[in-house]
Structure 1
Amino acid sequence: MTKDEYVKILQKEEDDNAQEAEDNGYGSGYYDGLDYAVDLAEKLDEPKKVVIPQFVADWIEEAKLYSGNEVDPLGIIYFMGDYFSSTDPHYEWIYDIDNQKLLLNAIANGYEVEDE
């Protein structure tokens, strides 16, 4: 769920139940609580997209096709584990621990391709 979706749900809850909460005598506290929750949610930061090399973006897209065009992080990692061999020109990139973290972040939060 994105931040915007969460804020919309809170605002809808606020709109749908404001009158009932007022009628039951706890309207002000209920309404203020939802207002506060909306304010906090709007301040949340969205995860930042990481920047990856073009060849890594190609790997991710190929792996998504392999796993039925779903963003399945474990499926993508499994595919890559089977796909790479020491003869691959980018073999060293995938076995660097920092690059593995970058790859997982790209799969989970989206990515941008670095300029050549």
Structure 2
Amino acid sequence: MSSEDVLAGFSGLLVAYCGILVGTVFLPFVASFLLDGIVQILRGNGPKMLLGAFSISAVLAGIGYVLWHIGTENPSVTLVTLGSMSTVAQYLLTFSTALALLAFLSRTAKLLWKTRRAAA
């Protein structure tokens, strides 16, 4: 196995893991802005934030899927590697979703706090 083969195998894995990171870490945080958009609609501020967050979420989901798909098409990716990718994705998705929800709750609490202070 030459160094070029090793590099080609590693680059495929790197691309696949980048796709996993985009889909499991960045996407939940952007998707949490969908909830902010819903809050903005309920407050009567219009759908601008919701539509923006939806479009960015769709783009990120597409980018993550394409990167993952390109990376896993590499012949050096075995079933064992796919299993480890699945495990990593599940852990990342669990923690990032929880953190994204905490970030949403923090932004909502800050918004409510500002509203109450302005009313007082």
TM-score (norm 2): 0.31
Bigger CA radius of gyration: 1
State the structure with bigger RCO (CA 8 A, min sep 6), 1 or 2.
Answer: 2
TM-score, length basis structure 1? 0.32
